[in-house]
């Protein structure tokens, strides 16, 4: 087991706003909602999908100095349940005025957290649903679990213009039982979320409930391992980072921590101190979209294509973290403040975890002639949040290293989505993980939007492939190979996929800034695990999640281009987001650019993934290439021996 002796917890929803990019405070959310309610005479049937900071223009933020006056605005998206209409507004909180109000036709906002609860209640009281349960011998409605799923868009007649959810249902055997062990197969209530009524209950035939429980909680484990000794993580002098409001300083790193209900954790103004100058690397970085395409074509399952950012809001589903469980050591927590769908304030305490970790060897060399050894221990700064999306958990981790490396990692765990099958059935599009329980084959695609600022706003992108030199006079032994750089000058040229066989990566450079060797300063986007989608290019999910088709996209910065699948992917027919942004094939050379990286995790379920899945990892890194004149971690001090943690 691991223990930690002390935590640092500070409420950081600032009463006084310290920077133009600080998230809205509770008072600001309340003020923005009331200003808009009064100005537009909004009724009780209006839901507030989003109330977030309307981020100021980039040039204004970059000019900001501590103490300058700050004008605060809120961006608000709302849904009128009576008409199904969606509106967007910009509210000046500082000026107590509505600056803009616009009707957005033909879109559906994300399914809001309040709607999840209301949808479950509507399904449970529906007579047709109860009758479908009775056919299966289910009589205790309190033990039924209903997960509202997004409906997607399959061009099916009669679904146009309706705000729909196709619910999935399971049955607990007791109040604390893992209900996901017993799917109520074939029963799908279809709910009109505007009216919060069940339109129909699809019944694709009775399949017996799987016979086995899938309990994993401590109360159900009869015997624990007894050979684990304590592993203590202590920092007796406290952490090495400093926090001032939303600004974090650690070693030579500096950044700001943001948060939205849609994206979750946001990083602003990431920079590294080098030779007395704070050198910018990223202006803004956040998860832009994610989608989980499932591979079962059956009538009851073909709709399973969840956009967990754009259809649900990954930030809204963030966990409240606890010391000794999700994070270890000296921890600083940031709370997340957001709106509920009625315009009230909702706070998730301890939503973001900030701490340090030991990460093995940073660098080492032994001079075998003199016997002199030099070794440095690596530590990294961790900024993370974890979200629960129904059955699944996703942990999102940004890591900052002493050598200037940045890593983004997603940790996947929770309970695999499943379906009941007949006894003796061997599923084609999944894996039998327990008797009569099928876990469908699926993929997870994530897209991270990175507004780059490598030593300044104007950057370029090169693709780097390693090539073999043809054998000949210049390569008589056939051993030669070299790295070849190719400029990606336009948006179409920059739509690329990974190629591990050529060691492909992408170099983001600043053409006007050079190191002492005369090289353009740069950061390299290094792919990790990745995969392409297996869904057909004409499949509904392929059209709606067009960003999956390419791993790299690069666009010139535009303040309205923030979402890889578009602002409103819920029930959208497709083509929005990156495919639409890049149609103009704009120049991306030596300009203010945004790099979008898509990475996929391919999951063929295993019996070992049941009843709760061991963590799986996926992500990428950004590594300095010529950004520094030499190893920037030479000044990390040698490890001390006096504390007993390093033995001579």
Would you please indicate which residues are annotated as catalytic (active-site) residues? 308, 392
3-state SS assignment for residue 32: helix
Angle at 543 between CA 539 and CA 544, to 5 degrees: 115
Reported residue count of the chain is: 648
User: Residue 38 phi/psi, 5° resolution?
Assistant: -70, -40
The long-range contacts involving 637-644, CB below 8 angstroms and separated by at least 24 positions, are 637/376, 638/374, 638/375, 638/376, 639/375, 639/376, 639/377
Q: Are strands 247-250 and 241-244 parallel, antiparallel or unpaired?
A: antiparallel
Helix (H) or strand (E) holding 540: helix 540-544
User: Measured between alpha carbons, how far is 384 from 615 in angstroms, rounded to an integer?
Assistant: 15
From first CA to last CA, the distance across the chain in angstroms is 27
Q: What is the DSSP letter of 536?
A: -
Task: Give the Cα separation of 509 and 208 in Å (integer).
Answer: 59
DSSP of 487-528: EE-BTTTT-B---GGGT-EEEEEEEEEE-TTSPEEEEEEEE-
Q: How would DSSP label each residue in 38-58?
A: HHHT--TTEEEEEEEE-PPPH
Could you give phi then psi for residue 109, rounded to 5 degrees?
-70, 170
Map tokens 């690329």 to a residue. Answer: 496
CA 221 to CA 287: how far, in whole Å? Answer: 36
Q: How far is CA 231 from CA 3, 209, 379, 645, in A?
A: 6, 42, 17, 12
Report whether the peptide linkage leading into residue 611 is cis, meaning its omega lies within 30 degrees of zero. Answer: yes
Give how far the C-alpha of residue 601 lies from the chain's centroid of Cα atoms, to the nearest Å.
13
Q: Give the 3-state secondary structure of residue 133.
A: helix
Three-class secondary structure of residue 321 per DSSP: coil
**DSSP for 231-274?**
EEE--TT--SEEEETTEEEETTEEEEEEEETTTEEEEEEEEEEE
CB count within 10 Å of CB 412 equals 19
Contact 322, 348 (CB under 8 A): no
Retrieve residue 52's tokens: 């977030």
């Amino acid at each position: 087991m691991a223990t930690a002796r002390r935590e640092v917890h500070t409420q950081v929803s600032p009463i006084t706003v310290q920077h133009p990019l600080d998230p809205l405070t509770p008072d600001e959310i309340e003020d923005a909602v009331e200003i808009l309610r009064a100005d537009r005479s909004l009724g009780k049937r209006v839901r507030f999908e989003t109330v977030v900071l309307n981020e100021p223009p980039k040039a204004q933020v970059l000019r900001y100095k501590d103490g300058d006056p700050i004008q605060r605005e809120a961006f608000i998206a709302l849904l009128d349940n009576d008409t199904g209409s969606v509106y967007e507004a910009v509210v000046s909180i500082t000026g107590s005025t509505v600056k803009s109000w616009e009707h957005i036709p033909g879109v559906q906002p994300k399914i809001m957290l309040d709607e999840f609860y209301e949808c479950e209640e509507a399904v449970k009281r529906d007579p047709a649903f109860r009758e479908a349960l009775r056919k299966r011998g289910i009589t205790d409605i309190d033990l039924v679990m209903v997960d509202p799923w997004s409906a997607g868009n399959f061009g099916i007649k009669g679904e146009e213009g309706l705000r729909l959810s196709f619910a999935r249902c399971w049955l607990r055997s007791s109040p604390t039982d893992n209900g996901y062990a017993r799917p109520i197969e074939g029963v799908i209530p279809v709910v009109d979320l505007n009216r919060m009524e069940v339109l129909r209950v699809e019944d694709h035939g009775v399949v017996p409930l799987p016979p086995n429980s899938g309990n994993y909680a401590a109360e159900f484990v009869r015997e624990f391992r007894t050979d684990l000794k304590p592993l203590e993580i202590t920092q007796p002098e406290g952490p090495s980072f400093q926090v001032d409001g939303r600004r974090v300083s650690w070693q030579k790193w500096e950044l700001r921590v943001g948060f939205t209900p849609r994206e979750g954790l946001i990083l602003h103004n990431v920079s590294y101190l080098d030779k007395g100058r704070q050198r910018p690397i990223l202006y803004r970085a956040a998860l832009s979209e994610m989608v989980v395409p499932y591979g079962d074509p059956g009538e009851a399952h073909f709709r399973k294509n969840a956009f967990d950012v754009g259809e649900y809001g990954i930030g809204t589903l963030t966990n409240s973290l606890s010391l000794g469980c999700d994070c270890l050591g000296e921890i600083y927590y940031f709370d997340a403040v957001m709106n509920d769908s009625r315009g009230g304030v909702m706070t998730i305490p301890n939503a973001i975890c900030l701490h340090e970790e030991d990460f093995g060897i940073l660098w080492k060399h032994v001079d075998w002639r003199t016997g002199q050894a030099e070794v440095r221990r690596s530590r990294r700064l961790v900024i993370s949040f974890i979200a629960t999306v129904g059955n699944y958990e996703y942990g999102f981790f940004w890591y900052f290293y002493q050598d200037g490396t940045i890593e983004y990692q997603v940790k996947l765990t929770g309970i695999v989505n499943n379906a009941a099958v007949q006894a003796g059935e061997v599923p084609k599009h999944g894996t039998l993980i327990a008797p009569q329980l099928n876990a469908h084959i699926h993929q997870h695609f994530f897209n991270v939007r990175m507004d780059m600022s490598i030593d300044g706003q104007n950057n370029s992108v090169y693709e780097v492939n390693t090539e073999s030199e043809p054998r000949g006079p210049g390569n008589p032994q056939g051993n030669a190979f070299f790295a070849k750089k190719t400029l990606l000058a336009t948006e179409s040229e920059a739509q690329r996929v990974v190629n591990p066989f050529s060691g492909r990566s992408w170099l983001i450079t600043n053409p006007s800034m050079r190191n002492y060797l005369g090289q353009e300063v740069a950061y390299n986007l290094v792919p990790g695990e990745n995969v392409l989608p297996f869904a057909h290019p004409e499949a509904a999910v392929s059209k709606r999640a067009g960003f999956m088709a390419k791993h790299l996209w690069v666009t010139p910065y535009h303040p309205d281009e923030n979402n890889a699948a578009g602002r409103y992917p819920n029930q959208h027919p497709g083509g929005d987001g990156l495919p639409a942004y890049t149609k103009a094939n704009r120049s991306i050379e030596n300009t203010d650019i945004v790099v979008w990286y898509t990475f996929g995790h391919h999951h063929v379920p295993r019996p070992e993934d049941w009843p709760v899945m061991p963590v799986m990892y996926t992500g990428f890194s950004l590594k300095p290439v010529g950004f520094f004149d030499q190893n920037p971690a030479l000044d990390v001090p040698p490890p001390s021996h006096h504390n007993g943690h390093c033995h001579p």
